[in-house]
Structure formats: structure tokens, C-alpha cells
Structure 1
Amino acid sequence: MKYRNFPMVPRVVFGRSSFNQLNEIIMPKRISSEKPFIFLVDDVFEKNEWLTSRIPLMFNDKVIFISTEEEPKTEQVDALVSQIRSLYNELPSGIIGIGGGSILDLAKAVAIMLNNKGNAEDYQGWDLVHKEAIYHVGIPTISGTGAEVSRTTVLTGPKRKLGINSDHTPFDQVILDPELTKDVPKNQWFYTGMDCYIHCVESLNGSYLNAFSQSYGEKAQELCFEVFLSNGISEEESQDKLMMASWHGGMSIAYSQVGIAHALSYGLSYLLGTKHGIGNCIVFNHLDEYYPEGVKIFKEMKEKHNIELPSGLCANLSDQDFDIMMDVALGLEPLWENALGDDWKNKISREKIRSLYEKM
């Protein structure tokens, strides 16, 4: 058997207020005063001086604020790459992503595409990138997606929703500062945290499971239980633990894979624009048949935090709409294989998938 030699994030800083070290971390990576750092920042922080005043701008560095109202798209990556190339004659020193999973995925994709020809959609898939990305740093401001550690970006393209999965995708540096998550709205905190929890359930119950992914998945799941089910946990402790759960959850799927919830969620997102975290929650809520214990605990967490999920998303869809979602979901073959085994095509049908979507 040949084992995959996956890359990991080579450098990581963890700790409250570690964001303040950003300047000293990136300074040695400045190629010259003519080659700036480009900061891609969630526009929720545009008027938040507590964060923006600490971004270490020098020379002709640039901050680009980005809306995350919609999921990241390949055309958005192409537009950012075109914008950066039009501003500078040479490649920048690096890309710094500051935000949630959408911003981190955009930062990874832009760093790749600045050094590769073509359009982002050309690289949606597994191991299609052959030239390394430029230096890129990830700084999460919400915990759960695992985007800070994963070897993929999640992008919606003209034909499908699929990541750029490659050895060149992971960040060169990550800064994990739990303090940056202090103002996350409750519902978003829950949905994104559940993305991490669902990573764990799908990894730990998948056919790709091995001791490497199991050790990370079990720790991430344990931390999720502490954050979402414990009584008396302080806000700071919750922030610290969920940030580490996100890291471990991302690591758990680096050497395994996610499963049915993510496959079906991608279909919702592609057709309806449903955000990733809430989409996973909406789907997972109906997967008792496949993940009975995981869904049972998910519903306990949902009740404990008084979360009411949207319903009726698929109530007025046409047959063509359902076909589009099913095509997107079924196109993610590794996810189905992980969930149901090598003979997954004999265990799931379009009729079954449609019946699940009709519940949502």
C-alpha cells in the first residue's frame, strides 16, 4: 500500500493576543518595499478599529475588504487575482487572510492563482495545481471550519462546488488568536462550531478512518462536547477550546474525508447559496439513518443553545432544481465512498437523496 504524503501547516502561533505578533512574523518574508502584502479581510471588520488598527501596513501594502454574504466563488478568486495583478508589476510578498472560512479559502485560492495560469475553475478537483502558491498566512476570526489547516479551498464554480485540493493549498503560517472570535454572533458561532463537530462525526464513522485521523477527530469531538454541552465553561475557555477543536477537526479530515452531510450541503450551497455551516446543520439534522448517535447529540446541542434551523428550503423546487443538487452531491465521490464504502453506488440512489432534500 502507498500512503499519501500530505503537507501540514509548517508554522503556527496560538494564544490570546498573538495577532499582535503578525508584523514580526511576516517581516522576514517581505521580499522588498515594492512587493507588498495583500490583506484580504472580512468586511465585518471594516469599521472595527480594534482589529484593523493592528494590521501592520507598510510601504504599498493593501487591505481589501471582502463581503462574505455569499459563499466564495471561482469568479471572485479570478477577479481578486486580476485586481492584484493590475495594481502591481510583480508578485506580492504574500497574501494574508483574516476572517472566517470563506476568507481563508479565498486567501488560499488567490495565493495559488497568482502563481498559476488560467482560471480558478480549472483547478477545482484533486491535485491539479503544479506550481506552488505564493506565501500565504491564515488568521481565523471564527472557529469551526478547519479552513486554517486544510489542504483544500471550498469554491463554487460555474459547473460545481468543489475545492482546490492540493499540496500547495495549505497556509505557510497560521495565527490562532481566540480573542479574535469574541464578537461572533451566537447563531454563527453555533453553525460554524457544528461544522467542526460534523467533520468529526463523518471522519470517525467513515471507511477512510485510520489511527492518524482518529486521534485528531476524537480530540476535536471531545472539545466540541466541552464547548457545546458543558455547564459553567467560561467565555474565554470556550473560545480557546473551540479554536483548537477547529484545528484538530481540520486535521482529522486531512488524512481521511468528510461524508454525506457535506456532500448534500454542497448541493444546497450550489443551487440556493446556502452558507456552508448552516447548510451542514440543516442536512445533518436529517441524517439519523446514517449517523444515529452523532445526530442525537447534535440535536441535544441544538436544544441546549436554543437554535432553530430554517426549514422549507426545498419546498418549491422544480425537478430540474433537484437534479442540479443531486448532480453536485453525487459528483463528490470520495465523500460517498468514505461514508458508505467502496460499493456506495449500490447503497444510495437519486430517489433517496431527493427524499432527504425534500425534508429540508
Structure 2
Amino acid sequence: MKAIIFNSGLGSRMGELTREKPKCMLTLYNGETIFERQIRILSECGIREFIITTGPFEEQLIQMSKKYNTLTFDFVPNKEYLSTNYIVSMNNIKQVTEDVLLLHGDLVFNKKLIHKILTNENPSICLYNEEKELPEKDFKCRIEQGKLKEVSVDLFDTECFAFQPLYKLDRQQMNAWQSEVSNLVNKEIKDVYAENALNTISEQLNIVAMSYKEDYIDEIDNEADYNRVSEEIKNYDYREQEIIESNNYMNSLEKVLKTSERCNILVVVGKSLRDKVEKDLGSISKQFVFFSEFSSNPKYEEVLNGVKLRKEHNCDVLISIGGGSTMDVAKCIKLFSPLVSLSDFIKKEFRYNTIKHIAIPTSAGTGSESTQIAVIYKAGTKCSVEHGSILPDMAILDPNLLKTLPTYHKKSTVLDSLCQGIESYWSKKATEESRYYSKQCIELILKSYIAYSNDEEVVLEDMLRASNYSGKAINIARTTAAHAMSYQLTSNYGISHGHAVALCIIPIWERMNQKSKDNKELEQVLKSLATVFNTMDIEESIEVVKGIIMEFALPKVRINENEIVELVEEINMDRLKNNPVSFSEEELKELYCVM
């Protein structure tokens, strides 16, 4: 099957955004252009040949296509793009000799939708949405007995539905459409949609209508569409991250790597695990390079050394095996790798790249395997690096890897996961979906934390899932004041991240409860959170978490009063702004004092 993509339009409604490039070259939230996204998803679903119609910016598309060494591109120009519609572009394509996937170049869609289309038993399919409101200016369709009968922007009656111009067509259906397109173009009817030709022969065709209501597909016509679609597609991408639950990570990893054409692999692993991992990977016939020269609070310069090693060995796959810091190092290696200059990488405008990242967590705390967030230190300052392209492509969750965690790290990672679940629930950015993940995280921890701290292996799977849910939750909602205030405690007092957050969570929660008396919206959120803990009120839910922290009996930390001013100055303001209520400088000092 070939893909035919129409990219011959001017994109005039986009204004300055498309003055010097085609619409398909606009960049989405993860630094990937619409064109790159379409090619990536379609090729991952098995399509290797592409026909691209072009208009005013053909050379840009040709140059972009050159990076796809294993794919074939045929460019079909429409020299009349200024005065005609894409019916002429379609007429310029030779009669196809195989089945096709035909789509517009400004469509953004999720990968599962394409998989559903290609695996659907019907040879010819179009897409409609029976739940979406009819758009004013975009395509609608008329469906009769499950078959497509008409496509137009002017349909508004009750038998019509929202429609997106992406079709799977067998050769016969496509040839019939092409022939009718030629008939109209030969009559000098060139300023209409290709669908005008389709409508005249729809009774002869057999195009089955498939609903896309559970998936995402939308076209970008103007700047408002661009901003909306780029934001909306994110959560579909998050949900489609491949998660493999396994009792033997090596078996799962070997299966994944056997199906990959990629050969050179950089393994990011901490020094304490390196010997074991090197031995485990010895049976897989791939070229592995190992990087372990980073600290538990990874430094910017250490990441750059990883970037250099990856480039030296031309590694196109990253595997991170370890805790949150290990995965953060791998994420930053991926993100920084395409940049040419070794100047300040953190301030660069990052782009999507095709380096694949498989994350394998060995602790149940950060959920970093399912976030687009990484933390590194530069000149002693903690830097949060966020970008849509660093969400790992795959996570392998093997509970057996939790068995050797030291007791202190086991307890502190549970607290980190629990605090992430709590903070993402009350976060300003919380959504229904993020709160679902928060709830799953909290409930699993409440169910299993005692057994986990007592080294009962039966609950390892639950704790690993809880951690992963916490990562999914903060990936959407982000963390809040407790995390913002914890970072410098980790540096100043040499305690783990989870330990530091646990010191902060109770004083902040109690202060927020006080403020909720005059803030009905906050009170409602905190009461809702209390139901997740299966408690009657806010105070009782706070006591539950306070009890867990006391039960874990982590080492005491005494905050030096002389350091409080410095601690307040070093608070991560981005995280603090995400808190549902603000705290004054004096309040922040008070909170540190009571920890």
C-alpha cells in the first residue's frame, strides 16, 4: 500500500506562519513537523512508499524526505497551485496500480487510528464522527446504510456527520475516483475539491464509513486550529506510549530488539548495576555501548559526555535501566543529541529526533519512564528540562528489579510516588484523566505499602504500577509546592528526593486546608482527594499520610534556621506557580520552620 499526501495548498489562512514554508512544516508540541509526524506514523504502520503532491515549497519537502533512507518518495507538483484546488493535484497523479491511503497534509492524528484503518477488514474506508458537532467551514459527510454517499463543506442536515479527508481505498475505488477527477479537469473545472468528483460517482463506489470518535484526527486551517490541535494531540500520544509488563525484562527487551532494524545501542545504567546489565545483555546480538559516568544528581556536563559517546558510536537506540536519575540522563542525551553547538544546551529550541528510548525502571518512585520531564544540575542549580519528544517510546516494567532496593530508597521512592499522586490531584493543571491516574496511584500504595516495606514480593507489581501511574499523572498535571520546596533540601541535606518531598507535603497540605475555608474551589478539590483516601474529611486524609511517613521512620532532618532564607530563594517557581493557592515569602519561611 502507498500513501498519497496532498501538500500543494498555499495555507493562506495561516498568515505569517506559512509565508516561507508549507503548512505541513509547522512544528507541533514535541518539536516534530506535521509532515514528519505523518511519515513517522505511517511508516511505523508499514507504509514504505509515498506520493506527495506539492505547491509553492516543493524543495523543502524534497529536502526533508532525504533523511528517510528506507522509504521511497515520489513528488508530484501542481504548477497551477495559485489558481486551482487540489483536484488538479490529484489529476496529476498517475493511475495507481495498488491500494492507497489518501490524506491531506495538514491532518494530525494518533497512531492507533492508522493501525485500526489498515487492519480493518473493509478494503475501502472513510472517517466520520457521529458525536462531534458539525463544523461550519470544514468537510461533512452523508452516510447511508454505513456507506459514504456525499462529502461537502455545505452539508448541515440531520443525516450528516463531521468528516476528515483520510481514506483507505482499494485500487478499483481509487482508479474510479481518479477517472472522474480527470473528467472534471478536462472540462476546466479546476477550482473545486477532489470530493466533487467523488460525489458524482459515490453510488458506484463501496466506501465503508468508520467512526473515529475514540481516536483523534483533525486538520489545521488557521492559527487557532494549529495551537488547539498541537495541544490536544499530546494526551493521545501519552496514552499510546507502549508499556510492557514483564517478569523478565531481558526476554521482553530481546523480543523488542529482534524486530528492530537498529543495531547500535547506548545503554545508560548506574555504576552499581552495570556489571549485571552487561552480563544480561551479552546474549543479544546487538552492539551495546555503556554509559555510567554520571552522579545520582546528574550534572549537565555528564550528560554532554553521554551525548558525545552516543555520537561517536552512532547509536540510534537508548536503553535506560535504573531509577529516575538514570532515565533523566537518557532523556537529555536524546534531546541534546541533534544540537550542533556545545554551548548552553538547556536554552536551545529543541526538535524531535528519531532516536528511540526504552526505559526500564528499577525503583517504584518517580514514574519517570512515563514523563516528558527530566531533571539535571547545572552549576549546582537544579534544572527541569521538559519537552514533548523525551517521553520514552517504550517502558518495560519488571517487578523483579525492585527486589534489591535498599530499605531507605524503597521507602523514600514510595513517598515520592505518593506525593506525586497527591500533588497532581490538586494541581492547577489537573484534568479528569490526570486525576484518574492519581487515584490509581494512591489506592495501590494504600493497599500495598506495608507489605512492600516488609519486603513481601507479592506486592512488587502493584508498587511498580503505582509509580507508573504517578508518572502519568504528573506528566499531565505537573507537581506543585511540595516538589518546588523539596529540591534544595535534597542538595543541602544529602537526603533522597522522596524523603525531601515527604518533609514538605504535610505542612503544605495543612496550610492549604486552612486557606480552603475561604476558597470553595480548593475545598472541593481537597474533599474529593479525601475520598480517594477513603476518609471522611480533609483532616483525616492528612493524618493518613502523616501516619505513613511516621511509620517509615526515615532519618530526622533538622533544618537550620539560618538557611531558611536561602531555601526560599532557591524554590522552583515554575512548580510553585502550579500550586492551587499561593504562598507569601513569610508563609514559605514558616512552612520550612515546621518541617
Query: Aligned ranges for residues 1-360 of structure 1 at < 5 Å?
Result: 2=228, 3-6=231-234, 7-8=237-238, 10-32=241-263, 36-47=264-275, 49=276, 51-56=277-282, 58=285, 60-66=287-293, 68=295, 70-85=296-311, 87-88=312-313, 91-118=314-341, 122-123=345-346, 128-132=349-353, 134-158=355-379, 160-229=381-450, 235-269=456-490, 274-287=495-508, 288-290=510-512, 295-305=542-552, 307-312=553-558, 314-315=559-560, 317-318=562-563, 322-323=565-566, 325-332=567-574, 335-341=575-581, 344=582, 348-360=583-595
The 1-side partners of 2:249 and 2:309 are apart by: 30
Task: Report deviation, 1:12.
Answer: 1.8
Task: Indicate how the Cα distance of structure 1 residues 147 and 121 shifts in structure 2: closer, same or farther if over 3 A, else same.
Answer: farther
Counterpart secondary structure, 1:339: coil
Q: Could you list the per-position Cα deviations for residues 49-90 of structure 1 after superposition, in whole angstroms to 9, with x for gaps in the alignment?
A: 4x542125545422223454x3122222112212333x43xx
Contact 1:142/1:180, CA 8 A, preserved across alignment: yes
Computing the radius of gyration from Cα coordinates, the structure with the larger value is: 2
State the AA in 2 paired with 1:310: K
- Cα offsets for 1:6-45 (capped at 9, x unmatched): 232632210211332212212333434xxx2111112222
Q: Residue 173 of structure 2 aligns with which residue?
A: none
| Deviation, structure 1 residue 202 | 0.8
Separation in structure 2 between the aligned mates of residue 10 and residue 220 of structure 1, nearest angstrom? 18
Range 206-215 or range 102-111, more displaced: 206-215
Letter in 1 for 2:233: N
The structure-2 alpha-carbon separation of the partners of 1:274 and 1:229, relative to structure 1 and needing over 3 Å to count, comes to closer
Name the amino acid aligned to 2:262: I
Change (3 A) 1:266 1:233: closer
CA distance in 1, matches of 2:476, 2:590: 31
Looking at structure 2, the residues matched to 175 and 246 of structure 1 have their Cα atoms a distance apart, in angstroms, of 13
Alignment partners' CA distance in 2, 1:294 and 1:73:
37
Is the contact made by 2:373 and 2:387 (CA closer than 8 Å) also made in structure 1? yes
Compare 134-143 and 112-121 and name the one that shifted more.
112-121
Q: When the two structures are superposed, what TM-score results if normalisation uses the length of structure 2?
A: 0.52
More strand per residue: 2
Q: Give the distance between the partners of 2:379 and 2:391, measured in 1 at CA.
A: 24
Aligned-pair Cα RMSD in Å: 2.9
Counterpart CA distance in 1 for 2:410 and 2:382 is: 24
Of residues 18-27 and 167-176 in structure 1, the stretch that sits farther from structure 2 once superposed is: 18-27
The answer to which of 114-123 and 214-223 deviates more is 114-123
Aligned AA (2:249): S
1:160–1:270 CA contact under 8 A, matched in 2: no
Q: Provide the rounded CA distance (Å) in 2 between the counterparts of 1:80 and 1:208.
A: 33
In structure 1, the gaps of 5 or more residues are none
Identity of aligned residues (%): 20
Call closer, same or farther: CA 1:330–1:25 in 2, change over 3 Å: closer
Q: CA deviation at 1:139?
A: 0.4
Shift of 1:191: 0.4
Q: Which has the higher contact order (CA 8 A, sep 6+)?
A: 1
Q: Is the 8 A contact 2:408 2:554 kept in 1?
A: no
Q: Contact conserved, 2:424 with 2:473, CA < 8 A, in 1?
A: yes
State whether residues 196 and 249 of structure 1, in contact with CA within 8 Å, keep that contact through their aligned partners in structure 2.
yes
| 1:98/1:139 contact within 8 Å kept | yes
Check whether the contact 1:71–1:275 (CA below 8 A) recurs between aligned residues.
no
Structure 1's 238 and 231: CA in aligned 2 closer, same or farther, altered over 3 A? closer
Residue 15 of structure 1 contacts residue 176 of structure 1 at CA under 8 Å; is this kept in 2?
A: yes
Letter paired with 1:328: E
**Contact 2:246/2:252 (CA < 8 Å) preserved in 1?**
no
TM-aligned CA deviation for residue 243 of structure 1: 0.4
| CA pair 53-295 structure 1, distance change in 2 beyond 3 A | farther
Q: 1:293 to 1:262 in 2, by over 3 A?
A: farther
Q: In the superposition, relative to structure 1, how do residues 65 and 223 fare at CA in structure 2: closer, same or farther (>3 Å)?
A: same
Change (3 A) 1:264 1:119: farther
Instruction: Report if aligned partners of 2:294, 2:302 keep a CA contact under 8 Å in 1.
Output: no
Distance 1:279 1:149, change over 3 A: same
Q: Is the 8 A contact 1:71 1:273 kept in 2?
A: no
Residue aligned with 2:396, SS? strand
Aligned residues: 337
